[in-house]
Structure 1
Amino acid sequence: MESFQSFLAVVPWWGWVLFFLFVLFLRDIIQRKHTITHNFPIVGHIRYMLEKIGPELRQYIVANNREELPFNRSQRTWVYASSKRQNNYTGFGSDQDQASPGYVFINPTMLPYNPAPNHPNRTHIDLIPCAKVMGQYNKRKRLFRPKSIVNISAMSFGSLSAKAIESLNKGAKKAGCYHNTGEGSLSYHHQHGADIVFQFGTGYFGVRTPEGNFDMDKMVKLVNDFDYIRAIEVKLSQGAKPGKGGVLPASKITKEISEIRHVPMGQDVISPSSHTAFTTIPELLDFIEDIANNTGLPVGFKSAVGKLDMWEQLTDLMVERNIGPDFISIDGGEGGTGAAPPAFANHVALPFVFAFAQVYQIFKRKNLTDRVVFIASGKLGFPSSALMAFSMGADLINLAREAMLSIGCIQALSCHTNTCPAGVATQKKWLQAGIDPTLKSERFYNYAKTLRKEILEITHACGYEHPCQMEMTDVDMSMGDNNYTTTLRQIYNYEKVPVDFISMKKLIECEHLGGQDGKA
Structure 2
Amino acid sequence: MAWVWTTIIIVVILLAWVTYDVLQKRHAILHNFPIIGHFRYWLEAIGPELRQYIVTNNDEERPFSRDQRRWVYSSSKKVNNYFGFGTDNELESSPNYLIIRHSAFPLSDPQPGDEAFDPQHTAACLKFLGGARGRAKAFQPESIVNISAMSFGSLSAPAIEALNRGAALAGCLHNTGEGGVSPYHAKGGELIWQIGTAYFGCRNADGRFDISRFRDVVQTHPIRAIEIKLSQGAKPGRGGLLPAAKITPEISKIRGVPMGRDCVSPASHREFHDADSLLDFVERLADESGLPVGIKSAVGQMQFWTDLAGQMRDTDRGVDFITIDGGEGGTGAAPLVFSDHVAMPFKLGMSSVYRVFQEADLNENVVFIGSGKLGFPHNALLAFGLGCDMINVGREAMLAIGCIQAQRCHTGHCPAGIATQNRWLMGGLDPTDKANRFANYVVTLRKELLQLGRACGVSHPCEVQLKHFEILNDAFGTQSAQKLFGYPIASAD
TM-score category (smaller protein):
0.7 to 0.9
Inter-partner Cα distance in structure 2 for 1:286 and 1:407: 39
Aligned to 1:96: 89
* Matching of residues 146-295 of structure 1 within 5 Å: 146-226=141-221, 228-295=222-289
* Matching of residues 445-484 of structure 1 within 5 Å: 445-482=439-476, 484=477
Taking structure 1 as the reference length, the TM-score comes to 0.82
Matched, 1:333 2:327: yes
Higher mean alpha-carbon deviation, 72-81 vs 108-117, is at: 108-117
Aligned to 2:478: 485
* Matching of residues 240-389 of structure 1 within 5 Å: 240-389=234-383
Aligned to 1:134: 129
Structure 1: give runs of 5+ residues left out of the alignment.
1-56, 499-520
Secondary structure of 1:218's aligned partner: helix
Inter-partner Cα distance in structure 1 for 2:118 and 2:224: 27
Q: CA deviation at 1:351?
A: 0.3
Instruction: Say if 2:413 and 2:420, in contact at 8 Å, map to a contact too.
Output: yes
Aligned AA (2:454) = H
Matched, 1:143 2:138: yes
Q: CA deviation at 1:343?
A: 0.4
Taking structure 2 as the reference length, the TM-score comes to 0.86
Aligned AA (1:491) = L
Using the aligned pairs only, state the percent identity.
52
Instruction: Please tell me whether Structure 1 or Structure 2 has the larger radius of gyration of its CA atoms.
Output: 1
When residues 287 and 126 of structure 1 are mapped into structure 2, their CA distance, relative to the original with a 3 A threshold, is: closer
When residues 214 and 445 of structure 1 are mapped into structure 2, their CA distance, relative to the original with a 3 A threshold, is: same
Inter-partner Cα distance in structure 2 for 1:120 and 1:94: 36
Aligned AA (2:66) = R
Inter-partner Cα distance in structure 2 for 1:166 and 1:497: 44
Inter-partner Cα distance in structure 1 for 2:242 and 2:279: 29
Aligned to 1:38: none
Inter-partner Cα distance in structure 2 for 1:123 and 1:238: 35
Inter-partner Cα distance in structure 1 for 2:313 and 2:166: 40
Aligned AA (2:284) = D
When residues 495 and 469 of structure 1 are mapped into structure 2, their CA distance, relative to the original with a 3 A threshold, is: farther
Inter-partner Cα distance in structure 2 for 1:119 and 1:464: 17
Structure 2: give runs of 5+ residues left out of the alignment.
1-46
Secondary structure of 1:213's aligned partner: coil
Instruction: Say if 1:334 and 1:379, in contact at 8 Å, map to a contact too.
Output: yes
Q: CA deviation at 1:452?
A: 0.6
Higher mean alpha-carbon deviation, 455-464 vs 256-265, is at: 256-265
Matched, 1:429 2:423: yes
Give the RMSD, CA atoms, in angstroms: 1.9
Aligned to 2:79: 86
Over residues 389-430 of structure 1, what are the superposed CA-to-partner deviations in whole Å (9 max), with x where a residue is unaligned?
001111001000000000000000100001111111111011
Q: CA deviation at 1:264?
A: 2.4
When residues 496 and 381 of structure 1 are mapped into structure 2, their CA distance, relative to the original with a 3 A threshold, is: farther
Aligned AA (2:172) = C
Secondary structure of 1:441's aligned partner: helix
Q: CA deviation at 1:267?
A: 3.6
Task: Give the alignment partner of residue 69 of structure 2, picking from 65, 76, 80.
Answer: 76
Instruction: Say if 2:274 and 2:304, in contact at 8 Å, map to a contact too.
Output: no
Aligned AA (1:200) = I
Inter-partner Cα distance in structure 1 for 2:136 and 2:245: 42
Secondary structure of 2:484's aligned partner: helix
